[in-house]
């Protein structure tokens, strides 16, 4: 009999050991395939696939150093951002957590082992109760639980890819702002030199008697304005570079950044607004993420429906009767049999959680609908702004600057011939300087509409031709 009891106890221990080993063997969290999905999504959305992964953290610094070796193009700046931006790196951890939740959702809860012992008052063998139980209600809850976790992981992948695409367009805009600010500073310096030469000419004319103190004073006032413009342009250029450095996640002096790409030229004609809207519906990652979030909410609703019976425990029970000291009876030494435990849904039938899950599902659906409707207007607005900005730049660069240059030349000729006053020359010069500055400002604003349009459509605009009637 002792051997029989020992065999039974060994069987229980073996079952517990196998259960533990089986659970440990399956509970492996490997998010590497998920980050490959992120890379594929980002490549489709931005054209870049060099994206940060937590398991490649040690390689980031070397990759960034290589990218910066000979200066940064616009594309290289985006790559540095997607590798080195700490906020994006923090957001990437959500995918790993979602993968861990998915693994957890496929695991059964641990079985419960209950042991009780009651000692006879007169001595002898104790009354021993042993029970091993497992909540089998999870068997019909498991599919819905896994569906919800899988949808959550899919949404996390899409959300991270959407964050990457958003950062890519922000980095491009910051790159264009830095390039434009550098150009504005250079033009401000050139303008200051032009005004300084005019001021020197006014002084020389005054010394020869051909000019007056008023001419010199007016020229000096314009020179002060030009010098002030240089100081403000230098500060704006430094701020623009610092903003780019924030996007890139670097702490070096922003003045050490070498930016090699110029502002882009006018793009090919843009597609019709409705074509862009349809394209955005097919590519916008936030829309895809909202759809998976809706799937997750639907699966959570199904899970709550299956939790009306939250706990149904099935197992085996073992009982050994007490044996008092000196008791020579030969009764049954132990009893073995199945056990069942059930939480009776008398008061709480999970109605509140079911209703909450249903409202949460409907809420997510409304949010998805809101994203879609807002996207339509965002795409149309981005296309309209792009068309208007490039039209303004064309007028400034191709019409306003040449006209101002001709007017200045005519004013100088007329002044030298005695046909006009020096004030007219200064006015023509002021218009010329402003026209040059406006041309660069309009070019910078127009360039920044391109990443804004890419962000609205959700895919690189260079992949297809776009048409705007006013361009």
Instruction: Please report the pLDDT score of residue 134 as a whole number.
Output: 83
Note every long-range contact of 171-174, with CB atoms under 8 Å and residues 24 or more positions apart, other chains counting.
171/77, 171/78, 171/81, 171/244, 171/247, 171/248, 172/74, 172/77, 172/78, 172/450, 172/451, 172/454, 173/448, 173/451, 173/452, 174/240, 174/243, 174/244, 174/247
Q: State which residues of the chain have pLDDT below 50.
A: 1-25, 463-471
- The predicted pLDDT at position 347 comes to 80
pTM: 0.80
Distance, CA of 266 to CA of 387 (rounded, Å): 10
State residue 327's pLDDT score. Answer: 59
Residue 21 pLDDT = 41
Q: Which residues pair with 338 in a beta bridge?
A: 316
Topology (CATH level 3) of domain 23-108+132-319+346-463: Outer membrane efflux proteins (OEP) (1.20.1600)
Contact 468, 273 (CB under 8 A): no
pLDDT score recorded for residue 462: 58
Domain residue ranges of the chain, discontinuous segments joined by +: 23-108+132-319+346-463
Angstrom CA distances, 466 to 59, 220, 283, stand at 38, 48, 16
pLDDT tens readout for residues 382-399: 999 999 999 999 999 999
Q: What is the pLDDT of residue 175?
A: 96
What is the rounded CA–CA span in Å between residue 411 and residue 425? Answer: 5
What is the model's pLDDT at position 9?
A: 43
pLDDT at position 420 is 84
pLDDT of 16 reads 44
Q: What's the rounded Cα separation, in Å, for the pair 168 and 52? A: 13
């Amino acid at each position: 009999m002792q051997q029989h009891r020992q065999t039974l106890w060994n069987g229980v221990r073996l079952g517990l050991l196998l259960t533990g080993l089986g659970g440990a063997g399956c509970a492996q969290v490997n998010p590497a395939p998920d980050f490959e999905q992120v890379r594929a999504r980002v490549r489709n959305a931005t054209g870049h696939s060099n994206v940060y992964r937590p398991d490649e953290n040690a390689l980031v610094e070397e990759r960034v150093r290589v990218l910066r070796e000979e200066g940064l193009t616009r594309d290289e700046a985006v790559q540095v951002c997607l590798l080195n931006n700490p906020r994006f790196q923090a957001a990437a951890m959500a995918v790993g957590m979602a993968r861990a939740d998915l693994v957890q959702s496929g695991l059964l809860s641990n079985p419960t082992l209950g042991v009780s012992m009651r000692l006879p008052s007169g001595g002898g063998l104790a009354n021993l109760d042993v029970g091993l139980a497992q909540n089998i209600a999870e068997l019909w809850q498991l599919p819905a639980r896994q569906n919800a976790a899988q949808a959550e992981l899919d949404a996390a992948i899409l959300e991270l890819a959407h964050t990457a695409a958003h950062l890519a367009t922000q980095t491009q805009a910051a790159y264009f702002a830095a390039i434009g600010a550098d150009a504005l500073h250079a033009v401000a310096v050139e303008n200051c030199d032009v005004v300084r030469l005019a001021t020197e000419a006014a002084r020389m004319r005054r010394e020869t008697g051909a000019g007056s103190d008023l001419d010199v004073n007016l020229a000096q006032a314009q020179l002060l304005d030009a010098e002030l413009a240089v100081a403000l342009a230098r500060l704006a250029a430094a701020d623009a570079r610092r903003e780019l450095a924030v996007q890139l996640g670097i702490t070096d002096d922003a003045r050490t950044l070498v930016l090699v790409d110029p502002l882009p030229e006018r793009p090919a004609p843009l597609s019709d607004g409705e074509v862009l809207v349809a394209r955005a519906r097919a590519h916008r990652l936030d829309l895809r993420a909202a759809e998976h979030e809706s799937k997750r909410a639907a699966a959570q609703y199904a899970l709550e429906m299956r939790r009306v019976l939250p706990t149904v425990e099935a197992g085996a029970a073992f009982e050994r009767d007490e044996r008092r000291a000196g008791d020579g009876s030969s009764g049954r030494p132990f009893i073995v049999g199945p056990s069942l435990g059930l939480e009776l849904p008398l008061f709480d039938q999970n109605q509140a959680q079911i209703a909450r899950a249903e409202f949460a599902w409907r809420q997510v659906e409304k949010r998805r609908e809101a994203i879609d409707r807002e996207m339509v207007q965002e795409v149309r607005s981005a296309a309209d702004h792009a068309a208007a900005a490039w039209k303004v730049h064309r007028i400034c660069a191709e019409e306003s600057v040449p006209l101002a240059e001709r007017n200045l030349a005519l004013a100088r000729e007329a002044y030298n011939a005695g046909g006009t006053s020096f004030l007219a020359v200064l006015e023509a010069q002021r218009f010329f300087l402003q026209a040059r500055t406006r041309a660069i400002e309009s070019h910078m604003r127009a360039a920044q509409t391109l990443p804004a349009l890419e962000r609205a459509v959700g895919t690189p605009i260079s992949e297809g031709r776009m048409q705007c009637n006013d361009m």
